[in-house]
Amino acid sequence: MDPVAHLRGRHRQPRRPAHDGPTRLCLDRLRARTPVPTEDIDTAAIVADPADDVVLADTVGVALQAGLDRLSPKERVAFVLHDSFGVEFSTIASILDTNPAAARQLASRSRAKVRQPQPQDALDDWQVVDAFMAAAREGEFARLLELLAPDAIVEGDATAVLIGTPARMAGQGEIAEFFNGSAHAALPVFVGGRAGYAWFHQGQAKVAFDFTVDESAVTRIDFRADPEILATVVRRRDQSVR
């Protein structure tokens, strides 16, 4: 054996690709996170369904992406490298061209953003309308105020005013006071395709409550008794929400 070649083989290792370090780091971390079974499981009785894996992967992926979408690029790097792979803040700092304290702050801020719960979806228009009428029937004045826009208005057409509805009201307080504890006989309907309510007499709609909703708040209610409008009134299923 050539002693020179032997020494070179001992002291000069072939250079690894640049991506080898991160790849080995990822594999080591993944191996460390592999759960160890605590009891034997009868896998013969389990029928694997590939569709379950697809659903699970999609669910996890969507949830993770939703969290990461809240982060800036630097926050993503700090969060993923530190919390997923345990990379030291000094290393993360060198990657982001910052100092370790700033890298630590980025990771901390990212963690808080990812854990922050998503805001509740806004109510559909029909849900706002039904919630408003439920609060009116049950005399929940505070709830009525919550569901009314600050500049909400109520108006009645000429025929409705003759029947006895107000011609005009403005502001949360006046409107909430009028509806508070009332509207027990009103039934859920569609008015021209929009969710609303109507007062019926002998099976015929006499006055329609035509709601306008914007950003989950009632901005306008029109009392309509015009025959052409009442012709568009269709009963709908009561799906009241509180």
Distance between CA atoms of residues 187 and 196, nearest Å: 9
Predicted pLDDT of residue 45: 54
pLDDT along the chain (242 residues), means of 10: 43 50 58 55 55 51 60 85 90 91 87 63 79 94 94 95 94 95 90 91 92 92 94 75 39
Q: At a CB cut-off of 8 Å and minimum separation 6, what does 210 contact?
A: 191, 192, 194, 196, 221, 222, 223, 224, 229
Q: At a CB cut-off of 8 Å and minimum separation 6, what does 213 contact?
A: 125, 128, 129, 219
Predicted pLDDT of residue 110: 80
Domains of the chain, start order: 56-119 (1.10.10.10), 125-235 (3.10.450.50)
Residues 197 and 186: beta-carbon distance below 8 Å: yes
Stated pTM of the model: 0.49
Predicted pLDDT of residue 120: 46
Predicted pLDDT of residue 193: 84
Q: The tokens 């509806």 sit on which residue?
A: 179
Q: At a CB cut-off of 8 Å and minimum separation 6, what does 71 contact?
A: 79, 110, 113, 114
Predicted pLDDT of residue 8: 40
Amino acid letter, residue 217: A
**Beta strand spans in 96-240 (E):** 148-156, 168-170, 187-191, 194-201, 204-214, 217-224, 233-235
Q: At a CB cut-off of 8 Å and minimum separation 6, what does 25 contact?
A: 85, 87
Residues 220 and 241: beta-carbon distance below 8 Å: no
Phi, psi (deg, nearest 5) at residue 58: -65, -40
Coil/strand/helix, residue 200? strand
